[in-house]
Amino acid sequence: MNSLNPGSPEFNTVFTEHAIRVLLVDDQAIVAEAVRRMLAEEPDIEFRYCQDPAEAIRIAHDIRATVVLLDLIMPDIDGLTLTKFFRANEDTRDIPLIVLSTREEAVTKAEAFGLGANDYLVKLPDKVELIARIRYHSNAYITLLQRNEAYQALVASQKALTNELNQAAAYVRSLLPPKLEGDIRTDWEFIPSTSLGGDSFGYHWIDDDHLAIYLLDVCGHGVGAALVSISAINSLRSESLNDVDFRDPSQVLAGLNRAYQMEEHNDMFFTIWYGVYSKQDRQLTFANAGHPPPIAVVGESPETAGTVLLETHGLVIGGLPGQEYKKSRFAIQSFTRLYIYSDGIYEVTRPDGSMLQLNDFINLVGRLSDKGDASPMGIIEEIRKLQDSDIFDDDVSLMEVSFSRPSP
């Protein structure tokens, strides 16, 4: 899903119409009449006159002036002092100011520009020059106002989009399964990225003997990826794929591939690892469709346990129709910890710019397991230290499944 930008169809900002409005601040009515006559034949330019400089800022704000002509010499408040006041006021600080003076003095010009004036004219200027400068400064100011409107609209749109993504992430989290306790224990962590990805995972009992375990990762980011992920997870949970024995991982992946061809799902594909554990024979049957291989820490005891990758090679779901997927079996031993994850957990950048590799992650899990600290959160905290950041660029899904021998 693309972010909103001023060129996208979703960004339909209608800019406020701004007429060119000139405010002259001068104590001499004769000067005001001369300027009025110069502008009289310009139908798109509105002219207002202010004789009292103390009222200038209020009037400029009220009429939404696009340029102000300030006389340099006036009683009580001179043009330079008024320039400071205009720039100090939040409502008028950006309005273009043209200082009018009877003399052209370099020092006075420098002081005027230093206080924030945009231009300096010796009065009364030529009509053509005055109109040209009024149009130039007014058009630049109107462009600034419209840019600010566009920015505010973009901020509002991005805020709305962020709220939608947060709601989508909360919904995805609500679909994640409760953690299991007992002979089969689960622990997991799910950290959605700021742009929301397509991670999802789950487990459920197919029957009294068979537990399905799965984790998938849809390509891309945004609500579209999340929707595909949710749909696929619901297909697994409800066991709604046609002509599929959900105790057979190879059939499940083939069924997903039939149902989720990428040309029918906005060119999105996904990777998935799907396993089925049998309590009766303590066997885990699994198949893989382009997903990083789960890590099994297995042995007769924690002291003798080693790491094994549960890997079969299959094409991503949605890539090509008619794919067949191989399944494999793995014997659950007295001590078995299974770690299933998305690539967001290890595709991170170290402070020196190097990328963490899959083998680095596998070795990390092995080392933490040896120390007895290979919980999902423990692993994530180590990754955060390696990248020196708490923020991940992609969704992070990490699921641990622990198998114990049932009590006699």
pTM greater than 0.75:
no
Residues 127, 183 within the same domain: no
pLDDT attached to residue 247:
97
Domain count for the chain? 2
Give the domain range for residue 352. 175-403
User: Does some domain include residue 193?
Assistant: yes
Are both 189 and 329 inside the same structural domain? yes
CA angle 45, 79, 32 (to 5 degrees): 40
What confidence score (pLDDT) does residue 2 get?
35
pLDDT at 168: 73
* Whether residue 232 is found in the same domain as residue 269: yes
Per-residue pLDDT of the chain (408 residues; tens, 9 = 90+): 333 344 444 445 566 778 899 999 999 999 999 999 999 999 999 999 999 999 999 999 999 999 999 999 888 888 999 999 999 999 999 999 999 998 888 999 999 999 999 999 998 889 999 999 999 999 999 999 988 888 888 888 878 877 777 777 777 778 889 999 999 999 999 988 766 778 899 999 999 999 999 999 998 877 788 889 999 999 999 999 999 999 999 999 999 999 999 999 889 999 999 999 999 999 999 999 999 999 999 998 888 899 999 999 999 999 999 999 999 999 999 999 999 999 999 999 999 999 999 999 999 999 999 988 899 999 999 999 999 999 888 889 999 999 987 655
CATH number at residue 222: 3.60.40.10
How far are the Cα atoms of 35, 120, 146, 200, 237 from residue 128, in angstroms, in the given order? 12, 15, 27, 68, 77
Residues 53 and 101 in one domain: yes
Asked which of 149, 183, 209 is the last residue of a domain, the reply is: 149
Question: Would you say the C-alpha torsion 68, 74, 76, 80 has a positive or negative sign?
Answer: positive
Task: Please tell me the predicted confidence (pLDDT) of residue 103.
Answer: 83
Whether residue 74 is found in the same domain as residue 210: no
Same domain, 230 and 105: no
317 in any annotated domain: yes
What pLDDT, on a 0 to 100 scale, did the predictor assign at position 9? 44
Classify residue 79: in a domain, yes or no: yes
pLDDT at 244: 96
**141 & 263 share domain:** no
The per-residue pLDDT for 10 is 43
The confidence score (pLDDT) of residue 407 equals 54
Identify which of 282, 293, 379 has the alpha carbon closest to the alpha carbon of residue 336.
282
Residue 197 falls inside a structural domain: yes
Predicted confidence at residue 12, as pLDDT, reads 53
Residue 241 lies in a domain: yes
Tokens of 316: 């991503």
Among residues 132, 149, 166, the one where a domain terminates is: 149
On whether both 245 and 382 belong to a single domain, the answer is: yes
CATH number (domain holding residue 116): 3.40.50.2300
pLDDT of the residue at 245? 97
Do both 348 and 393 map to the same domain? yes
Final residue before a domain boundary, out of 149, 164, 193: 149
Considering the domain architecture, whether residues 109 and 200 belong to the same structural domain is answered as: no
Look at residue 166 and tell me if it is in a domain: no
> Is residue 210 assigned to a domain?
yes
246 inside domain: yes
Confidence (pLDDT) at 46? 95
- Same-domain check for residues 297 and 362: yes
- The closest of 277, 272, 276 to 259, measured between CA atoms, is 272
Could you tell me if 119 and 208 lie in one domain? no
